[in-house]
C-alpha cells in the first residue's frame, strides 16, 4: 500500500512538473524578441498580418495558450512553420527513430566502457592503472563532442574508410555518431562508478567479507557491484533522455536527421509550435525516465524503500 | 559488393536489435571492402547528389524564398521562360515557346507550347498560370514573395486586399495557349523576372484536392501528392535527410533531360559538406569552409570553384540618427575602408572589392566606379562633417547577425576607421538572426550589416530597393532625383541607354551614401569532375536538365 502511494505521488509530481514546463515554454517562446515572419527580404506588413491570422497569432496570448493546451490534450502538437506542410507530430515522428537508435547505441557503448573502467579503477585504487584510467575519463569529459566527432570522422571515415562520414540512409555515419555520444557519457559513468564502488568497498560488510576470506573477485562482483552501480542507474534516466532527445553537435557533424537539430533550429526560426513540441517530448522523456529509475532503484537498494 | 538499395527510407536491418547488430558488423565489412563510392555509383545511375544547404522550408513555389528551396523548385517546376545553361542573362523557352511585347514593354504576350504537361499527364494551360498568380497574390495566402508579382497591373492592390476582383489584375488567358501580362509600367527585362520561382505555376486540381486555393500548408507538397510541370517530379522527402526528384516522364522535353534524378541533401554545416565531398558522398557542395580554401586552391585539378555571384555585401547606415545622419560622415566612413584588405585577408573567397552597390555583369550593366580606399579624402569628409578629429565622433555601433565571418569583417572595419579616421568609439554588437532583422527593420541601429542577392540578372533587382517607399530600404534614405532616374530608365528599350541611366541613378545613390558597399559575392564550392555541362552562372540558377554525369575516371576528359 505504502509503495503504491509512493508511486502515485511520484506520478502526480511528474505530471505537475510537465504542466509547468509546457506553460513556461509556451510563454517564454512568445516573449523572445523577433518572430517567425521576419526575413532578410522584408515581408510586407499586410502579409505578416495575414500569416499571423493563418496561424491564429492575432488572438490574445492567453486564448492562444488555452487553445494550445486543448490541442495538446488531443495529442496534436500543431503545424511547424520552419517545415511547411509538416505537422510538429510528423517532424518529431521522423526525427525520433534516428535519435532513438543513436541514443540507445550511445548508451550501450557508454555502459560497456564506463562500468568496467570504473570498477577496474576502484579495485586498483590509487595505482598507476587507476590514475591513467581516470585521467583518460577526465579527458573524455573535457573534450567536447564538437572536437571528438570531426576527429572520429577524419580518422575512421576519411583515413581508414571504415565508415561513411555523413548522411543517414544507407550510410554508416550514425555509428560514428553513437560512438561519439557513447565515449562522452562513458567518461561520466566511469567516474561515477569508481566513486560509488569505493564507497561500497569501504563499508563494514565488505571488510567482514574480506576477513572471512571471501575471494576478492567475489567481493567485487557479488557483494559490492549491486550497491556500486546504484548511482549509475540514477544517472541513466536523464542520460538516456538526453541521448535520445538528440545531440545537435553529433547530428550536424554527421548530417543525421534526428531531433537535436530541431531543438536548435526551432528556436532560431521562432518556430513556436516546434519549440513547444520538442520541449514537451524531451520533458516527458526525462520525467518518465526519472520515474522508472526511482522504481528501479527501489528494487536495487532495499534501503530506499525502507526509508520511505 | 553492392550496397543496399538507395530508395529505402530506413536501412533494412533497422527493425530489430539482432539484425541491428548484424547490420553493424556488415556495415563495417561493407565499407571496408567497398569498390565504388556513392558518387561513382550515382554517376553510373545518372543521379546528381547535391549538397543543398538548409532543409527546404516548403516545396510550394508560392511559399518559399531561400536559395536552397528555389534550387529544388527549379528541378520540379518550369516557368514561362527558363534559364540558359551557360548564361543566365539569356532566356530559354520554357512552357512558353515564344513571347513578345508591345512597343513600350508594358504588355507581354506569352505563347505556350501545346505539349507542356503536368507530371500527372494533364496539359499545362494559360489558365494554370492565371490561377497560380491569383493564388500567390491572394491576400489570404500570405505569400512572402508576392511582391515579386507587383509588376502586374493592380497586383499590389489585389494583394493588399484593396481590390477584390482578380479580373482587374493584369494577367489574362486568351484561349488555352496565350497568356497576356499587362504591367504597371514598362519593364524591358520582364522575361528575366518571370524566371523567378515566385512565377512558377501550380496544378489547380492538386491544390484543391487538399484544401482551398489559399490554404497555405496542406499535404499537397508531400511525395505521392505533389504534381509539378518541370523536368523532374518529387519522389521522396524526409526532413533533414533528403529531397529526391526523378525524371518526369510527361515533361515535354523528357527526351533531352540528361540526369535520371537529383538527390538534394540538406548538409547545413560547410565542414560536414566538405568532408562528405571528400568521402565521395556528394557531387557538388553548397558552400565551402573559408579556412580550407587555401588548401584546396593548392591542389592539382582542384575541385574548388570560385565564381562571380550576383550579390552585394554592404553596411546600411541609419540616416535618421546621429552620427550617421550626416552624408559627409557616411562618405568619410566609406572612403576609410580598405576593401582589398578585407577580401584578401578576411573573406578569402576571391570576392571583388565593391566600387558601388550593384555587381557588374559581363557584357551587361557596369556600375559606376565611385568608391575607393582614400584615407585623405575620408579625413576631408570627416572635417566637412564637422569633426576636427575622429576622437570627437560620438559612440556608434556596427550591428551584425551572429556569425564569425561577419564579426571578422566588422573588426577589420572597426580597426580601419580607428587607423584612418581616428574614430575610437565604434562598438560591434551581434544579435541572433531574427532579432537582428527586427532591429534593422525598425531602424534601431547605427550601422547594420547586409547582403543582397539578385532575384534576376537585371540591375533593377538591386537598385529598385532604394527607391522611396520600397520595403527593403531600412535606411530612411530617399532622394527624388534617384526616383526620377529609376522611373526614366524603365522607359528605355535600348539596353545601353538604360544601363547608362541606371548608372546615373547609382551615382546619385553613392553620392547620398546611405549604404557602405564592401564587396561583391563569389560562390565558392566543390564540384566533382563527373559533373558535365555545369557552367558558371551569375545567379547560380542552373537548369538541371542539361547537366550530365559521366565517369571522369573512364577516359572522360575534364
CA nearest B188: which of B458, B483, B481, B501?
B458
Q: Is the predicted pLDDT of residue A303 greater than 70, yes or no?
A: no
How much of chain B, in percent, has pLDDT values that exceed 90? 72
Percent of chain A with pLDDT over 90: 29
Mean pLDDT of chain B: 89
Banded model confidence at residue B44, pLDDT cuts 50, 70, 90 = very high
For residue B269, the distance in angstroms to the closest alpha carbon of chain A comes to 7
More confident residue, B209 or B216: B209
Q: How confident is the model over B180-199, as a mean pLDDT? A: 93
- What is the pTM for the complete model shown? 0.86
| Mean predicted confidence (pLDDT) in B50-65 | 88
Name the least confident of A185-189, B12-16, B380-384, B477-481: B12-16
Please check whether residue B472 touches A, CB under 8 A: yes
The answer, for B411 touching chain A at a CB cutoff of 8 Å, is no
Asked whether the predicted pLDDT for residue A24 surpasses 50, the reply is yes
Helix (H, G, I), strand (E, B), or coil: what is residue B101? strand
pLDDT number for residue A304: 60
The reported pLDDT for the residue numbered B15 is 42
User: What's the rounded mean pLDDT across residues B414-436?
Assistant: 93
How confident is residue A40, by pLDDT bands cut at 50, 70 and 90?
Answer: low
Residue count of chain B, please give it: 558
Which contiguous run of DSSP H or E holds residue B396? strand B396-401
The predicted pLDDT at position A213 comes to 85
Q: Could you tell me the pLDDT band of residue A299, with boundaries at 50, 70 and 90?
A: confident
The pLDDT score that the predictor gives to residue A156 is 92
Contact A224, A118 (CB under 8 A): no
Task: Write out pLDDT tens, residues B443-455.
Answer: 999 999 999 998 8
Please state the three-class secondary structure of B54-85 as a single string. CCCCCCCCCCCCCHHHHHHHHHHCCCCEEECC
Return d(Cα B144, Cα B131) in angstroms, integer: 18
Q: Cβ of A162 and B28 within 8 Å? A: yes
Chain A interface, mutation test: which of B142, B219, B244, B274, most A Cβ atoms within 10 Å? B142
Q: What is the mean pLDDT of residues B51-80?
A: 90
How large is the angle between the packed helices A272-300 and A2-31, nearest 10 degrees? Answer: 160
Of B31, B242, B267, the CB nearest to A164: B31
The residue with greater pLDDT, B113 or A260, is B113
Best probe of the B interface among A78, A87, A170, A262, by most B CBs < 10 A, is A170
Residue with the bigger pLDDT between A105 and A306: it is: A105
Task: Look at strands B447-453 and B396-401 and give their pairing.
Answer: parallel
Residue B193's pLDDT band (boundaries 50, 70, 90)? very high
Q: B261-293, pLDDT tens digit by residue? A: 999 999 888 999 999 999 999 999 999 998 899
The B residues from 17 to 76 touching A (CB cutoff 8 Å) are 20, 24, 27-28, 30-32, 34, 38, 55, 57-60, 63, 65
**Pick from B32, B58, B240: which is nearest to A84 by CB?**
B58
Mention every residue, 6+ apart, whose C-beta is less than 8 A from residue B1. Answer: B30, B33, B34, B35
Band the pLDDT of B555: cuts 50, 70, 90: very low
Residue B287: phi and psi, rounded to 5, are -145, -170
Query: Tell me, what's the pLDDT at B3?
Result: 35
- Give me the numbers of helices (H) and strands (E) for chain B, helices first please: 17, 18
Q: Is the pLDDT of residue B65 over 80?
A: no
State whether B434 and A172 contact (CB < 8 Å): no
Task: Report pLDDT for A305.
Answer: 56
Q: Which fold has domain A88-306?
A: MetI-like fold (1.10.3720)
| Residue B211 in this model has a pLDDT that exceeds 60 | yes
Domain extents for chain A? 88-306
DSSP for A94-121, written as a single string: HHHHHHHHHHHHHHHHHHHHHHHHHHHH
Of B172-176, B216-220, B311-315, least confident by mean pLDDT is B216-220
What ipTM does this complex have?
0.85
Helix (H, G, I), strand (E, B) or coil at A147: helix
**Residue B469: predicted pLDDT:** 79
Tally A–B CB contacts below 8 A.
Answer: 183
Distance from CA of A177 to the nearest CA of B (A): 13
Cis ω for the linkage preceding B91 (within 30 of 0): no
Q: What is the mean pLDDT of residues B306-335?
A: 94
- Residue A301, pLDDT score: 67
pLDDT digit string, tens, across residues A52-104: 887 888 888 999 999 999 989 998 888 887 777 788 999 999 998 899 899 99
Q: What CA–CA distance (Å, rounded) separates A265 from B496?
A: 46
Give the per-residue pLDDT at B33: 46
Amino acid at each position: 500500500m505504502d509503495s503504491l502511494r509512493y508511486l502515485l505521488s511520484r506520478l502526480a509530481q511528474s505530471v505537475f512538473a510537465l504542466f509547468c514546463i509546457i506553460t513556461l515554454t509556451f510563454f517564454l517562446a512568445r516573449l523572445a524578441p523577433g518572430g517567425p515572419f521576419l526575413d532578410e527580404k522584408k515581408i510586407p506588413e499586410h502579409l505578416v498580418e495575414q500569416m499571423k491570422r493563418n496561424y491564429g497569432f492575432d488572438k490574445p496570448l492567453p486564448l492562444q495558450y488555452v487553445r494550445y493546451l486543448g490541442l495538446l490534450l488531443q495529442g496534436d502538437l500543431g503545424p511547424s512553420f520552419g517545415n511547411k506542410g509538416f505537422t510538429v507530430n510528423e517532424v518529431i515522428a521522423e526525427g525520433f527513430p534516428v535519435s532513438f537508435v543513436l541514443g540507445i547505441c550511445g548508451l550501450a557503448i557508454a555502459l560497456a566502457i564506463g562500468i568496467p573502467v570504473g570498477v577496474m579503477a576502484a579495485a586498483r585504487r590509487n595505482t598507476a592503472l587507476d590514475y591513467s584510467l581516470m585521467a583518460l575519463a577526465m579527458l573524455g569529459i573535457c573534450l567536447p563532442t564538437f572536437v571528438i566527432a570531426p576527429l572520429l570522422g577524419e580518422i575512421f571515415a576519411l583515413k581508414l574508410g571504415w565508415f561513411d562520414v555523413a548522411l543517414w540512409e544507407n550510410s554508416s555515419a550514425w555509428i560514428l555518431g553513437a560512438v561519439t555520444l557513447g565515449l562522452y557519457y562513458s567518461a561520466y559513468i566511469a567516474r561515477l562508478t569508481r566513486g560509488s564502488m569505493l564507497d561500497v568497498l569501504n563499508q563494514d560488510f565488505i571488510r567482514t567479507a574480506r576477513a572471512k576470506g571471501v575471494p576478492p573477485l567475489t567481493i567485487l562482483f557479488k557483494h559490492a557491484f549491486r550497491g556500486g552501480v546504484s548511482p549509475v542507474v540514477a544517472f541513466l534516466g536523464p542520460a538516456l533522455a538526453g541521448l535520445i532527445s538528440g545531440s545537435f553537435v553529433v547530428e550536424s557533424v554527421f548530417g543525421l536527421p534526428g531531433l537535436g537539430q530541431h531543438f536548435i533550429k526551432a528556436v532560431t526560426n521562432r518556430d513556436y509550435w516546434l519549440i513547444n513540441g520538442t520541449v514537451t517530448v524531451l520533458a516527458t522523456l526525462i520525467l518518465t525516465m526519472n520515474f522508472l529509475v526511482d522504481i528501479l532503484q527501489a528494487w536495487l537498494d532495499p534501503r530506499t524503500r525502507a526509508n520511505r | 559488393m553492392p550496397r543496399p538499395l538507395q530508395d529505402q527510407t530506413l536501412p533494412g536491418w533497422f527493425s530489430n536489435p539482432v539484425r541491428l547488430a548484424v547490420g553493424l558488423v556488415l556495415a563495417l565489412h561493407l565499407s571496408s571492402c567497398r569498390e565504388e563510392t556513392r558518387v561513382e555509383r550515382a554517376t553510373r545511375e545518372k543521379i546528381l547528389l547535391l549538397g543543398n544547404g538548409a532543409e527546404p522550408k516548403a516545396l510550394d513555389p508560392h511559399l518559399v524564398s531561400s536559395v536552397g528551396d528555389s534550387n529544388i523548385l527549379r528541378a520540379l517546376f518550369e516557368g514561362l521562360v527558363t534559364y540558359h545553361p551557360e548564361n543566365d542573362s539569356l532566356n530559354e523557352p520554357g512552357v512558353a515557346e515564344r513571347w513578345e511585347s508591345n512597343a513600350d514593354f508594358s504588355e507581354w504576350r506569352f505563347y505556350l507550347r501545346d505539349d507542356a504537361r503536368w507530371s500527372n499527364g494533364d496539359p499545362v494551360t494559360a489558365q494554370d498560370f492565371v490561377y497560380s498568380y491569383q493564388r500567390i497574390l491572394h491576400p489570404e495566402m500570405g505569400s512572402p514573395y508576392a511582391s515579386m508579382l507587383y509588376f502586374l497591373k493592380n497586383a499590389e492592390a489585389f494583394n493588399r486586399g484593396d481590390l477584390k476582383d482578380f479580373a482587374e489584375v493584369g494577367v489574362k488567358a486568351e484561349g488555352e495557349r496565350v497568356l497576356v501580362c499587362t504591367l504597371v509600367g514598362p519593364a524591358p527585362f520582364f522575361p528575366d523576372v518571370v524566371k523567378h520561382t515566385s512565377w512558377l505555376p501550380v496544378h489547380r486540381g492538386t491544390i484543391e484536392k487538399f484544401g482551398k486555393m489559399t490554404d497555405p500548408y496542406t499535404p499537397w507538397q508531400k511525395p505521392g501528392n505533389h504534381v509539378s510541370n518541370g523536368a523532374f517530379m518529387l519522389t521522396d522527402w524526409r526532413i533533414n535527410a533528403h529531397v529526391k526528384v526523378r525524371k518526369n516522364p510527361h515533361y515535354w522535353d523528357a527526351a533531352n533531360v540528361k540526369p535520371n534524378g537529383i538527390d538534394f541533401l540538406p548538409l547545413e554545416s560547410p565542414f560536414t559538406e566538405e568532408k562528405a565531398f571528400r568521402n565521395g558522398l556528394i557531387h557538388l557542395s553548397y558552400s565551402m569552409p573559408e579556412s580550407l580554401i587555401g588548401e584546396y586552391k593548392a591542389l592539382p585539378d582542384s575541385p574548388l570553384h570560385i565564381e562571380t555571384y550576383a550579390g552585394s555585401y554592404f553596411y546600411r547606415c541609419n540616416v535618421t540618427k546621429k552620427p550617421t545622419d550626416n552624408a559627409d560622415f557616411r562618405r568619410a566612413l566609406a572612403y576609410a575602408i580598405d576593401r582589398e584588405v578585407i577580401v584578401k585577408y578576411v573573406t578569402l573567397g576571391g570576392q571583388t572589392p565593391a566600387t558601388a552597390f550593384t555587381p557588374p555583369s559581363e557584357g551587361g550593366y557596369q556600375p559606376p566606379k565611385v568608391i575607393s580606399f582614400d584615407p585623405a579624402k575620408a579625413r576631408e569628409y570627416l572635417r566637412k562633417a564637422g569633426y576636427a578629429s575622429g576622437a570627437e565622433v560620438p559612440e556608434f555601433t556596427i550591428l551584425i547577425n551572429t556569425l564569425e565571418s561577419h564579426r571578422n569583417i566588422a573588426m577589420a572595419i572597426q580597426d580601419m576607421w580607428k587607423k584612418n579616421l581616428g574614430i575610437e568609439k565604434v562598438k560591434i554588437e551581434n544579435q541572433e538572426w531574427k532579432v537582428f532583422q527586427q532591429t534593422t527593420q525598425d531602424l534601431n541601429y547605427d550601422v547594420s550589416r547586409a547582403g543582397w542577392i539578385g532575384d534576376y540578372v537585371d540591375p533593377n533587382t538591386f537598385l529598385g530597393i532604394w527607391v522611396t517607399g520600397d520595403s527593403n530600404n531600412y535606411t530612411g534614405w530617399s532622394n527624388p532625383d534617384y526616383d526620377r532616374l529609376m522611373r526614366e530608365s524603365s522607359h528605355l528599350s535600348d539596353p545601353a541607354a538604360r544601363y547608362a541611366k541606371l548608372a546615373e541613378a547609382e551615382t546619385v545613390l553613392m553620392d547620398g551614401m546611405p549604404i557602405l558597399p564592401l564587396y561583391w559575392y563569389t560562390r565558392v564550392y566543390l564540384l566533382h569532375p563527373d559533373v558535365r555541362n555545369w557552367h558558371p552562372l551569375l545567379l547560380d540558377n542552373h537548369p538541371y536538365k542539361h547537366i550530365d554525369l559521366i565517369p571522369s575516371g573512364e577516359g572522360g576528359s575534364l
